[in-house]
Amino acid sequence: MSANFPVLRRHDRAGTVVARDGVVVSFFMPHDHKLVAQVCWRALQTYLRATPPQSLSWYGAADGDVLELDADGWEVIRKRMVDQLSRLAWHVRLFDLPGGTGGYQFEYHSWRIQRPLCAGSSTTVSFTFPTEFLLEQGPQRMRALVLELARELPFHFGYASFALVPQDGSWGVGKWQVLDEYFARYLGVDLSSIARIGSVIGTHALGAHWLTFLGPPLLDRLGGTEALRQALPFPEVSLLPMEQERLLLTLSEWPDAFDIEKTAIPPQYRALACLLKPFMYEPEADDGIGNYLDRWRRRLCP
């Protein structure tokens, strides 16, 4: 598999780019904010060291405004992520441009949840990179960076994928026809939406990706590492056991958009998608965009 990525852009009516291609790296943790805030903060520092200076220059303020991420802004973010332990929810959004879509974004969301399907707490964190970063670094260095981001995170599920990344994590703005056209052709493109899915995912999966991370209790439900090794006997697949009973599945050398006008979906992607299907998150009710995204997540194993 070679590095052959399409240029994807979604615009609003004014012509502003509201989503663009890139690589998204997301982790989902069935743990309370106070248990994971420090490790997520350290992962953010790893991301900052790996990306160009000033890759994150703006942040979402509590009142909905977007402010410059200067020294005072970083102190606001540090306090929000690390010091504020007595809240019902925590939300941090950092961007390279006001609102995002230059390619570099960071999101952190943590909730104390009471809904029956996901009682308890849930935390999710996401890092995005422009496609140009992947091309400059190459897949091996990119994989090593993603592993470093994941090293301390107590995830039950995580992934890295070629993606269409929206402005400020929202899919509500932009031309829907563009999405339909992209997704009729590029079956390898992920739709990043952690703020929406993080509060309802529970301990479920979100499908097969270039790098797919599995941890407890999801890994146990799948039968463990050896069961997955036997179920995925493809030469392109590698399994890397991690500390704390976690596992990284690598499905191919590079991520890929899977342009179905030019290539077929690799069988290892469909095989893992079907293995994960019984453990996939299912929405409780039809909520428009949520169900649109859910149908897309199931595209490799309907």
Instruction: Please give the pLDDT value at position 102.
Output: 72
> Of the segments 142-156, 159-173, 177-191, which one has the largest average pLDDT value?
142-156
Q: How long, in residues, is the chain? A: 302
**In this predicted model, which residue has the larger pLDDT, 255 or 114?**
255
Among 103-107, 117-121, 209-213, 277-281, the range of highest mean pLDDT: 209-213
Q: What is the mean pLDDT of the chain?
A: 88
Q: Is residue 273 scored above 80 in pLDDT?
A: yes
Q: What is the mean pLDDT of residues 42-68?
A: 92
pLDDT of residue 212: 98
Spatial contact of 122 and 199, defined as CB atoms under 8 Å apart? yes
Tens of pLDDT, residues 14-24: 888 888 999 99
Pairing, β 105-113 against β 120-130:
antiparallel
Read off the pLDDT of residues 192-224 as tens digits, 9 standing for 90 and up. Answer: 778 878 888 889 999 999 999 999 999 999 999
pLDDT at 254: 96
Q: Are 160 and 209 in contact (CB under 8 A)?
A: yes
- CA distances to 41, 106, 112, 142 from 75, rounded to whole Å, are 12, 16, 24, 29
Q: Which pLDDT belongs to residue 117?
A: 46
Whether the per-residue pLDDT at 63 is higher than 50: the answer is yes
Q: Is the pLDDT of residue 289 over 70?
A: no
Residue-wise pLDDT for 225-266, tens only, equals 999 999 999 999 999 999 999 999 999 999 999 999 998 999
220 or 175, which is more confident? 220
Alpha-carbon distance of 271 to 231, in angstroms, equals 8
Distances in Å between the Cα of 241 and the Cα atoms of 179, 208, 237 are: 36, 17, 13
| Residue 100: predicted pLDDT | 64
Query: Which burial class, exposed, middle or buried, applies to 289 when counting CB atoms under 10 A from its CB (0-12, 13-18, 19+)?
Result: middle
Alpha-carbon torsion, ordered 25, 27, 32, 34, to 10 deg: -40
Does residue 107 carry a pLDDT above 70? yes
Identify the pLDDT of residue 197. Answer: 84
User: Is a pLDDT exceeding 80 seen at residue 91?
Assistant: yes
pLDDT band with cut points at 50, 70 and 90 for residue 118? very low
Q: Which residue in 222, 217, 203, 212 sits closest to 28, CA to CA?
A: 203
